[in-house]
Structure 1
Amino acid sequence: MKHRTPRGFKRIPAWMFHSRLPVDAETRLITSYLLTSGSANHPTVSELSDALCMDAKTVRRNVYKLEELGLLKVIRRAK
């Protein structure tokens, strides 16, 4: 079964997730949300967890992972 991007979310550029990067589906979903969220340039963890129906601990862990990989800066510049 082919993976589909949820309706309303942008497709994440392939170069952001090279095969060597340890990125899971939750991190991809958060990245997609950050790329498509209109006015919320720096959403809080609680806003992200409410919007994506995830618990705050999972969101926080994945946002830290994006920061460590240097992708959070790239996402904010892409907006």
Structure 2
Amino acid sequence: MDHDDRVIYFVKKSLTFRREFINPFANEGDPPAIDNMRPEIRKELIDYCHYAHGLVQADLRSLHRCRDQAIGDAN
């Protein structure tokens, strides 16, 4: 991950005390493939998708759908 993350604000879909989430697709360049993400980055994606987009299941199909939404958030 670059340290050049952009800040994206959103209304959380569920309650949490956590205030910052990482959208792995917010950086410029080609978006990383979900299958090639390190486990800690994939966990950040799951958390981001859960709180930003209401992701319930963390299966690969749901993550790909959320990936498309997350890329749209970054633009």
TM-score (norm 1): 0.42
For the pair shown, the structure with the greater C-alpha radius of gyration is 1
TM-score (norm 2): 0.43
Q: Which has the higher contact order (CA 8 A, sep 6+)?
A: 2
Which structure dedicates a bigger proportion of its chain to helix?
1
